[in-house]
Amino acid sequence: MASTPGALYLLGTSLIGRLPTAMAALAIVQLVRLQGGSYTLAGVLTAIYIVASAVGAPALGRWVDRRGQTGVLVVSAILSSAAFAAVALCAHSAPVIAVVGAVLAGLFTPPLEPSLRSLWPRIIPDGKPLKAAFSLDAGATELLFIAGPLLTVVGIWAFGATGNILFAAALGLVGTLGFASNRVSRAAGRSEHAGLRHVSPVRDARFRRLVAFTFGVGVPVGVLTIAVTVYGERNGIDSFAGWALAVNALGALAGATTLALRPLTRSPLRALAACGALLGLGYVPLAVGGLPPGAWLVCALVAGFMLPPTLAQVFESIEKISPAESLTEANAWIVSSMNVGVALGTLAAGAVANSPAATTVPLIVAGGILVTVLLSLVVLPERMSRLG
């Protein structure tokens, strides 16, 4: 991959441009809480942002497939950054405006992740090189979720809770403009599929099952954001949430590295269900009540391990079953389903977190595990093969 011209630049600028997404959940929760707002408001604002991004991504992805990446990315980056500024400046004084800002920031989130993923088959040879690219993509995405919480902690320390969100918006704008300026991105989608009738990937039953499965992958990720915040506050540990989420992402990076060194031999469609079930089960130790902080961090590390291997199987499956002229839209649906899972996990956990009961954290973590394991059943190999 390093020998492919522009590949590392595209990956790097994409990661910078996606930092607001990696920072948003914790940054919004911390913004509301540090200004004296409730967990409910924090959960609502975060969920609205994530759900709005899930709604906007497929539409923006389809527009990219039809019109090319450059214009869509530049315009959406400017609009999303401005809306983030509204959230930062109005969360305390004008919550209604903040809600509108969260909606717009989400709707116009630049579709960098699906845009990048649709470029890999165009610039990297099929077979092992493409598998390696998808594995590196999954691992690099986990770097976001290490950097995101840590940058949130640093940003709040340096700029305050309000300034931190403005900081995140600026990073997103710079990264997106850098990605969109690359010649590979500028050329993508302009004429490759001219004259072809657009076929939505949603028409494929296997694809719809992948969307449901990926939703289940996202739920415990959203639950974890609230769970670590509750744990840190109840144990009087400042910035515990940022460190716990970074450790969880470090575990995910370890999973991505392991996958790159020892690729799975089974086809991605046959490995999905097993990976999803193992991902859910990895969160089980976090549902044990009364864990000391050190043990909690170790368990968070373990819980993150299976996320990149699971997502890598999803990425490969999408590339195999989706029409080439709809690949950006297909990847956008996957990003959206993951984000909706994260959003609903955050929203549900935020509602339960208002309870003072000692079982709050174990309860919300157990709920996330259950959803992930149950939705792994929809992509059992025999079910997917019958639809192929």
> How much is the CA Rg of the chain, to the nearest whole Å?
20
Is the pLDDT score of 195 beyond 70? no
Kindly state the helix (H) or strand (E) to which residue 137 belongs, with its residue range: helix 128-180
Kindly state the helix (H) or strand (E) to which residue 248 belongs, with its residue range: helix 240-261
pLDDT band at 222 (very low <50, low <70, confident <90, very high): confident
pLDDT at position 1 = 55
**Do 350 and 54 touch, CB atoms closer than 8 A?**
no
Return the closest-CA partner of residue 330 out of 314, 308, 309.
314
- Of residues 382 and 215, more confidence is placed in 215
**Do 377 and 92 touch, CB atoms closer than 8 A?**
no
Is the pLDDT score of 150 beyond 70? yes
What tens digit of pLDDT does each residue of 301-345 get?
999 999 988 988 898 888 888 877 788 889 989 988 987 888 788
Is the pLDDT score of 10 beyond 80? yes
Q: Give the integer Cα–Cα distance in Å for 331 and 116.
A: 9
pLDDT at position 358 = 63
- Encoded amino acid at 38, one letter: S
**Maximum pairwise Cα distance, the chain:** 61
pLDDT at position 5 = 66
Please give the average per-residue pLDDT across 205-220, as a whole number.
92
pLDDT band at 253 (very low <50, low <70, confident <90, very high): confident
Lowest mean pLDDT among 155-164, 217-226, 341-350: 341-350
Q: Give the integer Cα–Cα distance in Å for 241 and 145.
A: 12
pLDDT at position 112 = 94
Q: Give the integer Cα–Cα distance in Å for 40 and 60.
A: 30
**Other C-beta atoms within 10 Å of 285: how many?**
16
pLDDT band at 3 (very low <50, low <70, confident <90, very high): low
CA distances (Å), 62 to each of 32, 115, 256, 315, in order? 34, 10, 29, 18
The full set of domains in the chain, from first to last, is 8-190+201-387 (1.20.1250.20)
**Do 22 and 145 touch, CB atoms closer than 8 A?**
yes
pLDDT at position 167 = 94
pLDDT at position 104 = 95
Is the pLDDT score of 265 beyond 90? no
pLDDT at position 192 = 54
Is the pLDDT score of 263 beyond 70? yes
- Of residues 189 and 235, more confidence is placed in 235
Q: Give the integer Cα–Cα distance in Å for 276 and 300.
A: 17
What tens digit of pLDDT does each residue of 62-108 get?
899 888 899 999 999 999 999 999 998 888 788 889 899 999 999 99
Please give the average per-residue pLDDT across 250-271, as a whole number.
82
pLDDT at position 53 = 85
CA distances (Å), 330 to each of 22, 194, 208, 369, in order? 21, 18, 10, 26
pLDDT at position 24 = 85
pLDDT at position 361 = 76
Task: Say what percent of the chain tops pLDDT 90.
Answer: 31
Q: Is 180 exposed, middle or buried (0-12, 13-18, 19+ CB in 10 A)?
A: buried
Average pLDDT, the chain: 85
DSSP characters over 273-308: HHHHHHHHHTTGGGGSTT--HHHHHHHHHHHTTTHH
Is the pLDDT score of 198 beyond 80? no
pLDDT at position 359 = 72
Please give the average per-residue pLDDT across 358-375, as a whole number.
84
pLDDT band at 280 (very low <50, low <70, confident <90, very high): very high
pLDDT band at 193 (very low <50, low <70, confident <90, very high): low
